[in-house]
Every structure is written in C-alpha cells, then in structure tokens.
Amino acid sequence: MIEIDGRSLRVEDVYAVAVEDDQVTINADTLRAVEEKHESFLRLINSGKTVYGVNTGFGSLLNVHIERDQEIELQKNLIRSHSSGVGEYLDRRYVRAIMVVRLNSLAAGYSAVSSDLLNMIAEMLNRDVTPAVPKYGSVGASGDLAPLAHIGLAMMGEGRALHEGRIMDSAKALEKAGLKPYQFKEKEGVALINGTSFMSGILSIAIMDAHDTLENAIRSALLSFEALSGTSKAFTPWILGARPHLGQVAIGNRFREYLNGSDIVKRADAKKVQDAYTLRCIPQVYGSVADVLDYVENVVSVEINSATDNPLFNGEEVVSGGNFHGEPVALAADFLAIALTDLGNMIERRIARLVDTNLSGLPPFLTPDSGLNSGYMIPQYTAAALCNRNKVLSYPSSADTIPTSANQEDHVSMGATGALKLLEIISNVRYIIAIEYLLGSQALEFTDKKASPSTLRIYEKVREKVEKLDRDRPPSFDIENIRKMMDMKEFISALQ
C-alpha cells in the first residue's frame, strides 16, 4: 500500500503502483488540508475575484470572461476540447504511473481541488480502471495537456478505458468497477490537465528500467571481458580514486570484485599492459551512466512531489506561474537518453570485437566450423542497427520548441517526446545487452572456462535457456529468450 501525501512519493513507489499494481491510500491529514484549501478557494471565487482558467478562457483566450453559472461547464469543455491525442494507446503501466504522479501533485495542496477528485483518481487506480491515453499530443507546456485530458475524459465517463484486460467505453468501465462518472468542480479540469505528470510518470518507470538495464550491462560485460582475456589493472583502487567520480569508483570496485578468482584475468594481468577502451574504460563509461541516472532520479523525485498546475493557490492568493513548464524533466530525459545510447555503443563495440578473430583471437564469428557456418556474424549487425536507431532517437527533444496557443505559450519543453523516445532507447539497449550475453557466453566456450565464480554464474544462467552454438541456428529466438530472462531479473538474481 502506497500512501499519498503530496510530498514523499518516490520513483520506486510510482513503479510499485504502475507495474506491480500496489494499492494507494491518501493520508487523512492531506485530504483534510486539500478540502480546506478548496473551500477557501470557493470563497475567493464567490467574492468575484478573477482567476485564470476558472472564470476566464484558456491560453490566448484568457481575456474572455466566464459567468459564475458557466464555470463548471468550462471545466468539462476544457477536458473535452483538449482530448486531442493521437496514435496507439499508452501501455497500462505508464498511464497508472501518470495517474499516481498526478494524484500526488494535486495532494500537495496548491491546486485548490476538492478531496473528491483525489479520491476518484485513487479509486480508479485501486479498482483497475485505466484511461485509454493516446501516445502523442503533448508539447510539454502548458504541462501535458492532451494526454492528461484523456484521463479526465475517462473520469467523466466520456472516453475509453481499460478494465479487466479489455478496452471499453469508460462509462461502462466505471460502472463495472462500482464507480460513478466524476463531476468536475471549479478549477478541477485545469488542475488535472495542466501539469507535467505524463512526462514525469513515464520517466519514473524509465528510471527503474534504466537501473535494471545498467545492472544487466555490468553482468554481460563480465562475459566479454573474460572471453577477451581482459586485465584488471585498470580497476586498481588508487587509479579509480585518482579521479573520484562516484559512479566510476563504484562500478570499478564492483567489476574488480566480480573478477576475483579468475585464472583468465590473473594470466592477463601477468602478460598484458592494457586493453582496448571498451574493456579498460568500463568504470568510466558505465560510471558516468550511473551518475547521470542518479541526477535524473533526483530531478524526477523533486518533480513528482511538486505542484505543477497553473494558477496555484496558497490559501490566501492565486498566482499564475510557470510550474507547468516541463523543462527540468525534458532536459533530464534527454540526458539519460544520451547516456544510455552511449552505453549501447560501448557494448556493441565489444560484440564486434568478440566476432572479429583478428581482435579476439577466437574463431571467426564464434563458430567452430566457420565458412560452412556463419555463426554469430549477423547478431552484430542487429546490435549495430539498434545503435543506429538510438543515435537518431538521442537527438534532444528539448532542443526544439514550437510556439502554441497563438503565441501565448511561445516556448515549450517537448518533454513528453523526450520521455517517449527514452522508452524505445531503453528497450533497444536491452536487446544489445541480450546479444552480448549470447555472444559472450559462446566466446567463453573457446577458453578453458577458468573465469571468476561471478562470471561463471552468469554463463551458467545463460546456458539454462540457451545451448552453445555448434552449428548454425536462428539467433533471434535465443536473443528473445535472453531478453525475457532479463525482464524476469534472472541475471540480477544470479549475481547480487
């Protein structure tokens, strides 16, 4: 059970609700405070105060006055008109992540919404009603308007939703779950859709997946390192400490410990001066990725505990600000995309080294009968293709901006695009790692296998599902099997 209080949500909590289907509960004091703010806000509105998005139009229509008896209809129309997303629906896990992040943001108490709205979002999460949200339509300021509007549309019973594994009219999904369509109150429509929860919810899941991806990259690298007779000299503690970036030192120390007990490495240490960069510089490159990941997690941890609505209300005054602008998250998503793309680049170069007999000293393409058999020639092509795709995707979305709303919103973050393409980059890197698991294990077949106990555990885990290659067979099935093992965290469990 994850408690929502508007200030202490972690990316791990978002993952637990979104992926593991943990239930949510809202802190009682938080609910009371939210309701008190809402009542104070209503008194302010009833006094005749002009408030953007409550008794005015939106965007460049901000100077259009809305009568008091039309303010509820304004919120409904906002959600209807802004539900303009296109493309395939976002996976359930990401929509749930978006919902729990939006719930926590509204619970911070600056959005002037009622406790009813918070309870509705929580009940939809707990009763498995997941709005159908098209992938595309957000420019990342004013917040993630279109995708969040589709969530509001489903809450009203006018959209589509996933329930019990089926897409249906949201009115039917709500009814089956024992819920009634939500009636949005003053300001609640704009409060729901004007925020960064789409990009930060997706990025929360991406961070967890990226941690898992880096852990797998460390393990797959062990196989290649030993198969290529790498020397551990570059992982000497004082060398790492001479340039004490946190990630570099941590990864270098772990990698050295994992290599303990390897006769292959001992022999290499006695004979070799240094290795190619893709072996020697694992701490520097992987450590940099780890540091970027920590930075991005810190940014997102702040964001998912922030009020990103506009305008905001502190109990006394309403102020229009810019907390909806997704720039911090957009830059973080792009930074992580670049880091993971380069992680994949390094792994692909080791894969290429494994299959090149001139560089590895191993049989060409890791087959005992090359010529008649092509062995693992083409998996390197696949890794190269995935790297190429990632290089295209790693162009920063935040480097672009296209003005919207008749130039009232004249600079946007494009953070939603950054978050979405990051998901594809992570998936591609995981396939590249799966290829290294496959080829690294095969490469060890041509050694005396006197690798470290840690390396051998990874090798044996691969061999549980994938036999060594004696003659040609389609590698695709083996790569997919290893990818499934990664997704089930089998390699991480094998080497803690």
Active site annotation includes 52: yes
Count Cα neighbours of 353 within 13 Å in the Cβ-side half-sphere: 24
312-313 vs 318-319, strand pairing mode: antiparallel
What does DSSP assign to residue 319?
E
Count Cα neighbours of 105 within 13 Å in the Cβ-side half-sphere: 32
What does DSSP assign to residue 89?
E
User: Which residue, chain included where needed, has tokens 């898992």?
Assistant: 212
Among positive and negative, which fits the CA dihedral 221, 245, 203, 9?
A: positive
Beta bridge partners of 163: 129, 166
Distances (CA, A) of 340 to 337, 393, 437: 5, 11, 18
- State the angle between helix axes of 377-393 and 475-487 in degrees (0 to 180), rounded to the nearest 10: 50
Distances (CA, A) of 56 to 47, 60, 66, 141: 15, 10, 5, 19
How far is 299 from 334, CA to CA, in rounded Å? 13
Q: Residue 467 CA to chain centroid, in angstroms?
A: 33
Distances (CA, A) of 236 to 214, 272, 322: 22, 14, 48
Residues in the chain: 496
How far is 4 from 108, CA to CA, in rounded Å? 9
> Would you tell me how many other CB atoms lie within 10 Å of the CB of residue 224?
26
How far apart, in Å, do the first and last CA atoms of the chain sit? Answer: 26
320, 190 Cβ separation under 8 angstroms: no
How far is 195 from 323, CA to CA, in rounded Å? 8
> Would you tell me how many other CB atoms lie within 10 Å of the CB of residue 331?
19
Q: Where are the alpha helices (DSSP H) in 312-452?
A: 327-355, 357-360, 377-393, 415-444
SS3 of 278, please? helix
24-26 vs 2-4, strand pairing mode: parallel
Which of 52, 136, 295, 395 is the catalytic position?
52
Beta bridge partners of 130: 162
Beta bridge partners of 23: none
How far is 401 from 139, CA to CA, in rounded Å? 8
Residues involved in catalysis: 52
